Amino acid sequence: MIICTVSLLFCSVLSCLVDKLSERATKDRISYHKSIRRALAIECLASDHEALVDFKNGLEDSHNHLSSWRNTNCCQWRGIYCDNITGAVVSIDLHNPHPVLFDSSPRKYEMWNQSGELRPSLMKLKSLRHLDLSFNTFNGIPIPEFFGSLVNLQYLNLSTAGLIPPHLGNLSHLQYLDLKTVGLHVENFQWVVGLVSLKYLAMNGVDLSSVAGTDLVSAVNHLPFLIELHLSSCHLFGQISSPSSLNFTSLAFLNLSSNAFFSKIPNWLVNISTLEHSGFYGNLTSLTYLDLSNNTIEGVIPSSIGAICNLKVLILSRNNMTGTFPEFLQGIENCPSRNLFLI
């Protein structure tokens, strides 16, 4: 069954996506912290305790959310997780649980917002692998350059937390990087090349207008393990280049919506067979949600898209593509019991 809808469904879909993003971030944190478990019976390392005390002294904890950061065992402190054997601090999670992006109460956001100075004592935490400071403002200061020295990090979430230093490209073990924010400008994308272990990258809302399409694809092509790439509303424009050889063949989720690309669909997307969610398309046998909206994509809508049986939501609004629904939905008869929303 094909269901053609208008703005009410569009709003419903966007609301659903926001819920899913919030739910996904929560699941990521829960999954990671379950894997290390809180070491209640383990005493933290004296050097890690000293480093965390100095880090706390730089923060302005006006609502006393870090009141537990007083006893001698830092493994029992809020947001701190330790290795069960060594007692070394492996995770710091101080994200704001009431981000204004998802939460309807600015008052709650302000109550949980961390501000103050981000001190380099974090570099003394030699086993730190997980750091989440998302949805805090820290008085609007840039992300300090020393973050590029936290070389053992595998997970870093600084969404809406400050400006982006190119030194983050030194984090070769990083697998998850979330830098979603609004109003920030990045001069180039080449620092991404050093993130050779990266599986997830989100920079929605970051101004990448200085990044050419050639530089974007060239940088991403150095990330062979990349599974998800989120670059919606990043002021990207122009042509999207096609590299001579494709290295990021594990890509399963691609969102390039709400930019200003005016090219046709790039050839390299045709060779990606693992895509599940995309701002563009290719041989997408597992695709469930496709958003091409709010670009200037040109050319005929390909009829092969109708044969993607797992596709549930298709958004094609605000582009210069040609064709009609009946023309490009050839092959849909091979998809029994299908519900497809077209917007």
Q: Around 236, how many Cα atoms within 13 Å sit in the side-chain half-sphere?
A: 32
**How many CB atoms lie under 10 A from the CB of residue 269?**
20
In the predicted model, what is the mean pLDDT of the chain? 78
Residue 270 has pLDDT above 60, yes or no: no
Residue 44 has pLDDT above 60, yes or no: yes
Q: So where are the chain's domains?
A: 2-342
Residue 166 has pLDDT above 70, yes or no: yes
Residue 282 has pLDDT above 80, yes or no: no
User: Which residues, at least 6 apart from 127, have a Cβ–Cβ distance to it below 8 Å?
Assistant: 48, 83, 86, 88, 89, 90, 152
Percent of the chain with pLDDT over 90: 34
Q: Which residue has the tokens 């706390």?
A: 56
Q: Which has the higher per-residue pLDDT, 10 or 311?
A: 311
CA-CA-CA-CA torsion for 314, 320, 321, 326, nearest 10 degrees?
70
Instruction: Return the CATH superfamily for domain 2-342.
Output: Ribonuclease Inhibitor (3.80.10.10)
Residue 9 has pLDDT above 50, yes or no: no
* pLDDT band of 260, cuts 50, 70, 90: confident
Could you tell me the CA-to-CA distances from 295 to 178, 312, 314 in Å, in that order?
23, 21, 15
Q: Given this model, what pLDDT does residue 22 score?
A: 46
Mean pLDDT of 157-161: 81
Whether the full predicted model's pTM is greater than 0.85, yes or no, is no
Q: Which residue has the tokens 């999670």?
A: 93
Q: Given this model, what pLDDT does residue 98 score?
A: 78
Mean pLDDT of 173-192: 88
Q: Given this model, what pLDDT does residue 322 score?
A: 77
Max avg pLDDT among 99-108, 128-137, 195-204, 245-254: 195-204
* pLDDT band of 184, cuts 50, 70, 90: confident
Read off φ and ψ for residue 256, nearest 5 degrees. -120, 25
Query: 20-29, 70-79, 241-250, 289-298: which range is least confident on average?
Result: 20-29
Q: Given this model, what pLDDT does residue 120 score?
A: 96
